[in-house]
Structure 1
Amino acid sequence: MTQVRPEFDPELNTFLADMQLMPELNPDVLAQIRQFPPPPVESLLEGHPVDRREVTFPAPDGAEIPLTILTPAHAGVGAGADAGAGAGAGRDRRRTPVPCVYWVHGGGMIMGDRYSQIDIPLEWLDRFGAVVVSVDYRLAPEVTGTTPVDDCYLGLLWVVEHADELGIDPSRIVVAGTSAGGGLAAGLTLMARDRGIPAIAAQMLIYPMLDHRNNSTSSRQYSGEPGVWTREMNEFGWRSLLGDLDSGDVPSYVSPALADDLSGLPNTYVDAGTAEVFRDEDVDYASRIWAAGGQAELHVWAGGFHGFDALYPKARVSVAARRARVDWLSRILEPHPEV
């Protein structure tokens, strides 16, 4: 029997008709996907006046974790400098510190790199003059458990420690991510709350991957046929990340929906589509933040499938979704008008 479910937005459905959807996701398919070269960095940054700098920092196990730092052009942070050249090279000390967006890319915990979906935070760099820092966390199944969220947390600590050199205001750091990156953003925000450092001004969770149990109504609705991200694909991504962990041993930093206490979190933005696997877990997460006395803004876009605004940014619902995020960020990052 066909599962009753919300239909795709008509405009998105027209675009989707021309897209080749994956029938399944398994180790062989993942290996094939990873062989495709990513688009050149320069093409992703085209049209955005930014200075780019690449650094690495060591994880406790000796792995080198890359960060990309994107700064509005001519802002004064030493573009092109490597980690050993001194992070403050060329900085104009008279510059007013700016907000920072700490970006965590998507890809189901198993794909992508620090430039994936980078057009989303670049829009905020253009609008708010923010520095964007994107972290290249290690992927499953090569690593499992807390390693990806630990990488993200350590990268955020690096940013805070170098805030003065980067020209950012440490009181205006927004952690943001999409899909798996949204789940990791939620996990590292819980980690920062529990450890008392660093202070995070806000978290933006864009259709985040929050619950390894994968048993919601929306998950069951988008199952059994090809799609952008189906219940079966979600199962593969989680299984790759969890490795040998028993379901009862999964930490809430890995699967944030498991967190018993959502109090004390920073201002939170959550969005999702009505026509995607993550809809119900995302709505539940926002609802539980409210129940704990926190502030969360929730948007559920009618007919949006997973990743709709990243795949088809010019669709009307995508334009509306992106505009709503910018409006929310303006209330978080810009000074309040005089009353």
Structure 2
Amino acid sequence: MTSRPLVDPELIAFIEAFPTVNIGAENLAAVRQSRDAALAQLPPFPASVRVEEVFIPGPKGAPDVRLKLYRKKDGAEGPRPAILHLHGGGYIMGNPEFMGPMCALWADAYDAVVVAPAYRIAPETAFPGNVEDAYAALAWANARAADLGIDTARIAVAGESAGGGLAASLALLVRDRGEYSFCHQQLIFPMIDDRTAVRADLSPMFGEFVWTNASNHFGWASLLGQPPGSPDVSPYAAAARAESLAGLPPTFISTGALDLFTEENLEYARRLMAEGVPVELHVYPGAPHAYMQMAGARVTRAYMRDALSALARGLGVDWKD
């Protein structure tokens, strides 16, 4: 059984241009190289945005964390909102440059300070290296808030795929440590439940294209250093493992109806709502994982409208499309 007849006709070219590959130890280096080569095809940033590369102190005993910093050149002098952005890549690849155009758009449209760390990835660094790197970036942004012009009461966390999963886990860690706070979390088809990788009852309508459950299994095993589905997985690695989601910030969750993560995302949204967290949830028909790379598709335009509006509300900024 195939989900191909359900794919939005405007996204057929996308799934044909990016043939699905099951990622494992034998081809990870080649896949990383291919993804990095695609950076040359990214569109230019708005001339109104200044982009800097900064190295900040990492977690105790760990290397410095490289991050990209996006700010509007003629932005307000007073405190501005900020977004901590965490890139995707299945926890095993990727870097902050991949979503550079979106980070620059946020900085320009919202007059926001966008902090995008290059957190350590697996299997070279297993959990908790990734979430501690993200926490270090948040700590740095708070410590430098006066210099950067950041309003610490208006810091959102955002991410796509593994970055969305890491954002959700970081929000849990921030809630539990009680040192800092997020005003909003923006979770785009987040990778939040390692147990999906070992489900025998998962419908074939989910995850046929782009990011398969075979790749998912490898990504989770690499991050956790043990088989996914094990009984002792930390919620700071897989947010769906959290016993309680109470006290988390208002949340925007979106996914595609054909995404591998659809069911875990729906369940996470349900649990958030049941525990009193404001949630805006969108499921886009005919959309596989990472469908937004097809920028001109109507479903992508709908997602962009919804996501930009939700993030603006979460940050408390006046923004119109």
TM-score normalised over the length of structure 2: 0.91
Distance 1:144 1:48, change over 3 A: same
Q: CA deviation at 1:178?
A: 0.4
Which 5+ residue runs of structure 1 have no aligned equivalent?
A: 76-93
Distance 1:48 1:33, change over 3 A: farther
Query: CA–CA distance in 1 between the matches of 2:254 and 2:5?
Result: 16
User: What pairs up with 1:218-297 in 2 under 5 angstroms?
Assistant: 220-222=204-206, 227-244=209-226, 247-297=230-280
Native 8 Å contact 2:87 2:159 kept in 1: yes
Question: Aligned residue for 2:64?
Answer: 64
User: How much is the aligned-residue C-alpha RMSD, in angstroms?
Assistant: 2.3
Query: CA–CA distance in 2 between the matches of 1:208 and 1:199?
Result: 20
Query: CA–CA distance in 2 between the matches of 1:280 and 1:217?
Result: 11
Native 8 Å contact 1:219 1:276 kept in 2: no
User: Which string of whole-angstrom CA distances, capped at 9 and with x for unpartnered residues, describes residues 264-292 of structure 1?
Assistant: 01111000000110001011111101111
User: Which residue, out of 299, 303, 309, partners 1:317?
Assistant: 299
Check if 1:100 corresponds to 2:82. yes
User: Which string of whole-angstrom CA distances, capped at 9 and with x for unpartnered residues, describes residues 160-204 of structure 1?
Assistant: 111111111111111000000000000000000001121111000
Query: CA–CA distance in 1 between the matches of 2:212 and 2:203?
Result: 7
Structure with higher Rg: it is 1
Q: CA deviation at 1:38?
A: 4.3
Q: CA deviation at 1:242?
A: 1.1
Query: CA–CA distance in 1 between the matches of 2:317 and 2:205?
Result: 43
Native 8 Å contact 2:184 2:315 kept in 1: no
Q: CA deviation at 1:245?
A: 6.6
The AA in structure 2 aligned to 1:213 is: R
TM-score normalised over the length of structure 1: 0.86
Distance 1:217 1:175, change over 3 A: farther
Question: Aligned residue for 1:26?
Answer: 24
Question: Aligned residue for 2:169?
Answer: 187
- Secondary structure in 1 aligned to 2:114? strand
Identity of aligned residues (%): 38
The AA in structure 2 aligned to 1:188 is: L
- Secondary structure in 1 aligned to 2:97? coil
Check if 1:140 corresponds to 2:122. yes
Question: Aligned residue for 2:281?
Answer: 298
Native 8 Å contact 2:45 2:104 kept in 1: no
Native 8 Å contact 1:219 1:277 kept in 2: no
The AA in structure 2 aligned to 1:252 is: P
Question: Aligned residue for 1:89?
Answer: none
Q: CA deviation at 1:27?
A: 1.5
Check if 1:329 corresponds to 2:311. yes
Q: CA deviation at 1:220?
A: 4.7
> Larger deviation: 244-253 or 34-43?
34-43
Distance 1:292 1:43, change over 3 A: closer
Distance 1:66 1:219, change over 3 A: farther
Distance 1:269 1:9, change over 3 A: same
Question: Aligned residue for 1:84?
Answer: none
User: What pairs up with 1:137-176 in 2 under 5 angstroms?
Assistant: 137-176=119-158
Query: CA–CA distance in 1 between the matches of 2:43 and 2:13?
Result: 25
Query: CA–CA distance in 2 between the matches of 1:258 and 1:103?
Result: 22
Which 5+ residue runs of structure 2 have no aligned equivalent?
A: none
Native 8 Å contact 1:217 1:280 kept in 2: no
Query: CA–CA distance in 2 between the matches of 1:198 and 1:118?
Result: 25
Question: Aligned residue for 2:15?
Answer: 16
The AA in structure 2 aligned to 1:50 is: V
Check if 1:120 corresponds to 2:119. no
Q: CA deviation at 1:114?
A: 1.2
User: Which string of whole-angstrom CA distances, capped at 9 and with x for unpartnered residues, describes residues 130-164 of structure 1?
Assistant: 11110100010001121111111111111111111
Question: Aligned residue for 2:49?
Answer: 50
Query: CA–CA distance in 1 between the matches of 2:180 and 2:98?
Result: 25
